Amino acid sequence: MPQRIETIQQFYALMQETGKLRRKLVSRIMESESPDPQGSEQLRSFLKALQNIPRQNDRFVLTSSALCLELGYEISELEKDLIFLEQGERALLSYFAELHPGFREEIGSALEFSHGLRLPLTNLISDRDGTVNNYCGRYLSSIQSVYNAVFLSRFAQRAVENAVILTSAPLYGGGLVDITVAPPGLFILAGSKGREYLDARGRDGRLPIEQEKQNKLDHLNRRLEQLMQDPRYELFSLIGSGLQFKFGQTTVARQDIYGSIPTTESEAFMNVIEELIRDIDPQGEYFRTEDTGKDIEIILTVEGESGLKDFDKGDGVSFLDGELDLDLAGGGNLVCGDTSSDIPMVEAANSPQTSAIFVTSETAIKQAVRRICERTHFVSEPDVLVCLLNQLGKDRG
Ligand SMILES: [Mg+2]
């Protein structure tokens, strides 16, 4: 591991190393409940390497890549891990209480709400980013932290039959599997909004896509790959969501949450991408494009009840239900999310025994979730939800 992080490639390599180490640390804790002092020392050296990157204002400057990074997630999750490993769980909870005003009160009322849950539940259906994982502006470095994996694993092991983590990011190739450090066998990991999964027994599966549509998407992906090799556009594959080939969908970043790309360049790139899509799909039969301002989502259309529609996370949940016999209709389900794209999951998993916990302060989202699911609770931070799940797991342990 280089002493100095000067390129974005070195930065990603370091984050990969933290993932490998964290995986070891988590399985040790899950087996013996005692952390490994050498491991936490090594984790501290990774944190130091990040902190040693030269700073300009609040950004970290990678001199060789001419990029300024905001490393809030990477650094704060390493700090939390070190508190957890060196000082223990209580110290971490005190730290959360310092970070988040009202943290203990929120945990209290979330626990009260959870008294209504009949444990063990049949299914946990949860989004990842912003819900059970703090939000990171770069997908590839959003490595799960040790405490997070331990807390969620306790819940998965003791309080629920099927723990499904469902995300819009791909499963492999810099996807959910690569950034997860929880031990295999406890979670069903579902990527690409649920179109592909890796179940608790290590079997994977995917939703069939018509050959003709798949060929179009493959063609688009090849063209995008070529485009991103052009030095003018290379940077777009290294910021924010980068270039992600999901199952049935491709994401291209044109901006990140830190505004690293000048607006005119970002818009010019958007036009280049739109032109490329028109070239491959002139009639708009195969792809729908969604522009979030940061990411351009290019989605293969699916046949819905009223013609062509986009595949959403609710479609993913229904697909998994059929594939993995989740018994969503009959079981006790807890659905967790943080944005409006997670609401279809509540719809798809709704039964008389379904509860929902959302991490949001947005009124429109709260109202929409309440309209679907009677037993609903809201918290303000992923840290609250993760600590709640930990406590529910421990109570049953
Ligand atoms: Mg989310």
From the CB of residue 375, how many other CB atoms can be counted at a distance below 10 Å? 15
Q: How far is the CA of 385 from the centre of ligand 1 (A)?
A: 13
Q: How far apart are CA 309 and CA 154, in angstroms?
A: 38
Please tell me the class of the 8-195+313-395 domain. alpha beta
Q: How far is the CA of 193 from the centre of ligand 1 (A)?
A: 11
Fill in the amino acid letter for 295: D
pLDDT exceeds cutoff 90 at 161: yes
Q: How far is the CA of 132 from the centre of ligand 1 (A)?
A: 8
* Helix axis angle, 382-395 to 89-99, nearest 10°: 150
pLDDT exceeds cutoff 90 at 112: yes
Q: How far is the CA of 38 from the centre of ligand 1 (A)?
A: 34
Q: How far is the CA of 128 from the centre of ligand 1 (A)?
A: 6
What pLDDT score was predicted for residue 164? 98
pLDDT exceeds cutoff 80 at 1: no
Q: How far is the CA of 176 from the centre of ligand 1 (A)?
A: 13
Q: Tens digits of per-residue pLDDT, 162-214?
A: 999 999 999 998 899 999 999 999 999 999 999 999 999 999 999 988 899 99
CB 145 within 8 A of CB 22: yes
Q: How far apart are CA 256 and CA 262, in angstroms?
A: 11
Quick one: pLDDT band at residue 308, thresholds 50, 70, 90?
A: low
What pLDDT score was predicted for residue 306? 52
Q: How far is the CA of 347 from the centre of ligand 1 (A)?
A: 16
From the number of C-beta atoms within 10 Å of its C-beta (0-12, 13-18, 19+), residue 26 rates as buried
Q: How far is the CA of 378 from the centre of ligand 1 (A)?
A: 14
Domain definitions of the chain by residue range: 8-195+313-395, 211-309
Q: How far is the CA of 130 from the centre of ligand 1 (A)?
A: 4
Q: How far is the CA of 75 from the centre of ligand 1 (A)?
A: 20
Q: How far is the CA of 342 from the centre of ligand 1 (A)?
A: 7
Q: Show the 3-state SS of the chain.
A: CCCCCCCHHHHHHHHHHHHHHHHHHHHHHHHHCCCCHHHHHHHHHHHHHHHCCCEECCEEEEHHHCEEECCHHHHHHHHHHHHHHHHCHHHHHHHHHHHCCCHHHHHHHHHHHHCCCCCCEEEEEECCECCCECCCCCHHHCCCCHHHHHHHHHHHHHCEEEEEEECCCCCCCCCHHHHCCCCCCCCEEEEHHHCEEECCCCCEEECCCCHHHHHHHHHHHHHHHHHHHCCCCHHHHCCCCCEEEECCEEEEECCCCCCCCCHHHHHHHHHHHHHHHHHHCCCCCCEEEEECCCEEEEEECEEECCEEECCCHHHHHHHHHHHHCCCCCCCCEEEEECCHHHHHHHHHCCCCCEEEEEECCCHHHHHHHHHHCCEEEEECCHHHHHHHHHHHHHHCC
Q: How far is the CA of 161 from the centre of ligand 1 (A)?
A: 23
Q: How far is the CA of 255 from the centre of ligand 1 (A)?
A: 18
Q: How far is the CA of 54 from the centre of ligand 1 (A)?
A: 31
Quick one: pLDDT band at residue 68, thresholds 50, 70, 90?
A: confident
CATH 3.30.70.3080, domain 211-309, yes or no: yes
pTM above the 0.85 mark? yes
Q: How far is the CA of 37 from the centre of ligand 1 (A)?
A: 33
Q: How far is the CA of 296 from the centre of ligand 1 (A)?
A: 17
Q: Which of 77-91, 187-201, 303-317 has the lowest mean pLDDT?
A: 303-317
Q: Tens digits of per-residue pLDDT, 21-42?
A: 999 999 999 998 777 888 999 9
